[in-house]
Every structure is written in structure tokens, then in C-alpha cells.
Amino acid sequence: MCTMIVEKVKIDGSGKGINGWFKLEQANVSYDHPFDAPFEHALNIDFVNESQGVGARVAVELSEQAARELARAILDVLDQANTDGHI
């Protein structure tokens, strides 16, 4: 069964797709059936720039554990960068 859980987040950064680097403007985060990952459900992140079309997309499908570990690692790295005076 589809969960229909999705959040859209405005972001600022760059992603590398099939045609090279492009400006990222949005991340679509969902918990639903993956297209490729071998899980019943996955945490799916699509990093996109809709104004550049379907080629400006980087898709990621993660297990629940991998998603939680990635979220923790991101926060840990940002905290360390802040502590070290880089932010």
C-alpha cells in the first residue's frame, strides 16, 4: 500500500546528473515504494530543479536505517563545523 507521505523542501545547492552539474532548488522527500531499491518501502529523496526539466534530477532510495544514519551524520558534521568556527 502506498503511504503518500511526502514533503517538499526548498534548497540551495548543486547536483550532478547525467548532463553534468546543475543548480538544485528543491528536494522531494517521501516514504513510499522505491523504484529500484529492494525494500517494500524506502526513504526516497529527489533533488531537483524543475525549471530545467526531468534531466535535472538526482534520485536516492534509502532503507530506514540508512536514512536515519545519514540524517545523524549530516547533523553531526554541521555541529562539528559550527564548533570549529566554520559556520
> Is residue 31 in a domain?
yes
What is the four-CA torsion angle of 2, 57, 18, 16, rounded to 10 degrees?
Answer: -120
Full domain range(s) for residue 54: 5-62
> Is residue 21 in a domain?
yes
Q: Domain count of the chain? A: 1
Q: Which residue has the cell 543548480?
A: 23
Q: Which amino acid is at 57?
A: R
6-36: per-residue pLDDT in tens?
A: 999 999 999 999 889 999 999 999 999 999 9
> Is residue 81 in a domain?
no
39-69: per-residue pLDDT in tens?
A: 999 999 999 999 999 889 999 999 999 999 9
> Is residue 70 in a domain?
no
> Is residue 40 in a domain?
yes
> Is residue 49 in a domain?
yes
Q: What is the model's pLDDT at position 54?
A: 87
> Is residue 15 in a domain?
yes
